Structure 1
Amino acid sequence: PQHLVDVESQELCHLNDGKCDPSHRLWAGSLGHFPEGATDIHDIEKEQGSLYSMQKDKSVVKRWGKIDLSNGLAWSLHKKKFYFVDSIKYRIDSYDYDDATGDISNEKVAFCFKANNVEGAADGMTIDQEGMLWVACFGGYQVIRVDPNTGKLLQQVAIPSPNVTSVIFGGPNYEDLFVTTGTMQMTNEQLEKYPHSGCIFRVTGLGIKGTP
């Protein structure tokens, strides 16, 4: 491993999801501390996280702060929109995106979990070749496909684990959806009922391709 840069001065914060934008900047968001014995994502210390991007010269830009639990990141196919998840908000936000500078502005709600009766909280996220978002649902036993332009729920894919954490397309033609899961906050009963929690699942036969 190679050390690149330090971005957080707070010892109780750590980085969560990271991804490269269309111009190859590395973006990553942080989150606050979970107290010992925490059993729910709402136990996190609020507004301690930030969103950063690392430029090609390895300088770091803090895009904004006061984030509760930074998670999924995605960019539209035409490079004009940035999609972001702060899990505690139970929604996906959309921003105008300037690919030349990395600047983001004009926050709008692209998809609301509660308005669509979606179980769980938004976690990791990816985008397919049709510009639709695939979102892991932490505590929701599923991955969902949503249209960020209309705010509509398009598809639900059940996963045999409560805590679905992230998604990415892969395989020779980017036709397989790989889904990560975790065991955080699970009871012994849940671990017995869902013994494959913490595994990576591959979903095939969706008839949809992802992006590299």
Structure 2
Amino acid sequence: MKIEVDVAFAAENIVGESAVWDDRTHKLCWVDIVGKSIHRLCPSTGNHEKWRFQDLVTSIGLRDDGGAIVGLRKSIALWEFGGELRLVAEVEPEVPGNRLNEGVVAPDGAFWVGTMQDNIAADGTPIAMSAKTGRLYRYARGKLRPVSENRFGITNTLIWTDDGRLITADTEDNAIYSYSLDAHAMVLNDRQTILSGFERGLPDGSCVDTEGFIWNCRVAGGGCVVRFAPDGRIDRVVDLPCSWPTSCAFGGSQFETLFVTSARFTMSDDYLARNQHEGAVFALQPGAHGLPTSRFGR
């Protein structure tokens, strides 16, 4: 069955990422990492807000009190929409060559972030990566702690399953992993590869639906989202009118709409003239429904 995909907003993001639906305001939030900005869109009215910052903004999550928690290049900050950033944690100050990437609020109200070797120069141009130096961290109650000894190339996807496992991806490996989470020690172990070598693109951001299936964006030429079960069984593939989809979130009054961000990083002007939807935010109704986003609690 072919699913119709609409352009929800022609954002022209360089690296749109970290889509999250605010069910209190009925607005979609996301970041443009290289564009150093946070966006918020009301799909029903078309009203769009944009806030610019001095450096990379790598992820965003919602807070219980109505504000946001934000991943930057090397730190985590609390932010009121339209206000000033308030830094609360520095991440890996001992590894100056790393930066933050994925950041998601977990069902327990903690903010999880992943790091990677910094691949973006100060002027926004790409830097070649040479090592797997990324790691996963958990920030809660004012404390930041690592949760895994595993090293990642590019950390992406953070999904918590009903049976207490964490699903995460390493984009460089073209692999999605499942970890057991020790709820007492907050340490990941028992890593299992559940999806590897899928031939369309590489794994980027994901979200989960009410049936427990994961929707994963296939970046770097994948041009689709793939729906798979927690055991890695692929259910369906939905084509998108872009080549670099990056993150996704269910929204709408019944969480019936899947919103997808995309990127145009490293694409030439000639290519973009022929492919104008790169960097846009898309909306589709895939027949599945999502869940309310988790919110960060101090």
| Structure 2 Cα separation of the partners of residues 99 and 171 of structure 1 | 32
| Structure 1 Cα separation of the partners of residues 270 and 225 of structure 2 | 23
| Structure 2 Cα separation of the partners of residues 209 and 33 of structure 1 | 35
What is the identity percentage for the equivalent residue pairs of Structure 1 and Structure 2?
A: 25
- Flag structure 1 segments of 5+ consecutive residues without an equivalent: none
Give structure 1 regions of 4+ aligned residues with deviation exceeding 4 angstroms: 35-39
Question: Root-mean-square deviation (CA), in Å?
Answer: 1.8
Relative contact order, CA 8 A, sep 6+: which one is greater? 2
Go from structure 1 to structure 2 and tell me whether the alpha carbon gap of 1:35 and 1:59 turns closer, same or farther (over 3 Å shift). Answer: closer
| Structure 2 Cα separation of the partners of residues 210 and 96 of structure 1 | 23
* TM-score between both structures, scaled by the size of structure 1: 0.88
**1:2 partnered with 2:2:** no
Listed as ranges, the matches of 1:37-52 within 5 Å are: 38=126, 43-52=128-137
Q: CA deviation at 1:101?
A: 4.2
Give per-residue Cα distances to partners, 1:124-150, cap 9 Å, x unaligned.
01111111110010121111101122x
| Structure 2 Cα separation of the partners of residues 161 and 11 of structure 1 | 33
One-letter amino acid of the counterpart of residue 11, structure 1: P
* TM-score between both structures, scaled by the size of structure 2: 0.64
Correspondent of 2:244 among 157, 163, 176: 163
- Flag structure 2 segments of 5+ consecutive residues without an equivalent: 1-84, 293-298
Q: CA deviation at 1:34?
A: 2.3
Q: Name the SS for the 2:176 alignment partner.
A: strand
Listed as ranges, the matches of 1:1-212 within 5 Å are: 1-9=85-93, 10-34=95-119, 38=126, 43-55=128-140, 57-64=141-148, 65-78=150-163, 80-112=164-196, 114=197, 116=198, 118-139=199-220, 140-149=222-231, 151-204=232-285, 206-212=286-292
| Structure 1 Cα separation of the partners of residues 193 and 223 of structure 2 | 23
Say whether the 8 Å CA contact 1:77–1:129 is kept in structure 2.
no
Go from structure 1 to structure 2 and tell me whether the alpha carbon gap of 1:6 and 1:38 turns closer, same or farther (over 3 Å shift). Answer: closer
Q: Which residue of 1 aligns with 2:17?
A: none
